[in-house]
Amino acid sequence: MLCLRIWFVCAIGALASAGQAMAATLSELDFDGGFSDSFSAPTAIGVAGISSITGFWTAEDAGGYDYLVLTGLAPGLQTFHIDIRPVDGALQQTDHAYNGGAYVKYLDSQFAYDYDGRETVGQIDILHGDEVPVRVDVTTEVAPGGSVYLMLHDTNGLPGYPLFYEISGLEGAGIPVSVVPLPTAAPLLLGGLAVLGAIACRRRRS
């Protein structure tokens, strides 16, 4: 009997673990070469299972662009948050000359050129001693099957003042995945495991 109980506990735990969608943070470091700097070939990111996206501009790509397209979005009004701050270790609090900045734009279709963008979220300037991070919001109506194209631009382009950004608010933004009828299949799976557990217990007693 104890053997069967242990079998059931393990089976239920496995099903629970498999059924949970673990939201994760996706980093620019997860992409070979980082995010795309081309408006015609943005980095595509499916938002399912993603809670946030992080990126940065280093001394090597100061003044550069990051182009992203968020796919798999649920239709309707969506709001994403973009927090921008100096990269850890930057001298924003001690260097009185610190002057970092970024420009954020978005579209519901691909950008046609670098400064393209019907919707401009805003110009961000971070000076010495400013409170960080600075947050801007992207609020847009997503059509069925639609995507959101983002352009993030390090405007000041100063190698000594690198910036870090995080795009959050993605939990629940994706289309719910319900194509696999796990709740219907689960009783059958548990029944099969119960039978196997009972057979194993009988063999052990004999």
Helices (H), the chain: 2-19, 182-205
Look-up of token digits 């352009």: 151
Residue 182 resides in a domain: no
SS3 state of residue 69: strand
Residue 20 resides in a domain: no
Residue 106 resides in a domain: yes
Residue 186 resides in a domain: no
Residue 14 resides in a domain: no
Total structural domains within the chain: 1
**Region 119-142 average pLDDT:** 88
The CATH code of the domain that includes 54 is 2.60.120
Q: pLDDT tens digits for 35-84?
A: 999 999 999 999 999 999 999 987 677 678 999 999 999 999 999 999 99
Residue 4 resides in a domain: no
Contact between residue 62 and residue 162 where contact means Cβ atoms under 8 Å apart? yes
The residue range of the domain holding 70 is 26-172
3 state SS for 154-191: ECCCCCCCCEEEEEECCCCCECCCCCCCHHHHHHHHHH
The pTM assigned to this predicted structure is 0.73
Residue 197 predicted with pLDDT over 50:
yes
Residue 188 predicted with pLDDT over 80:
no
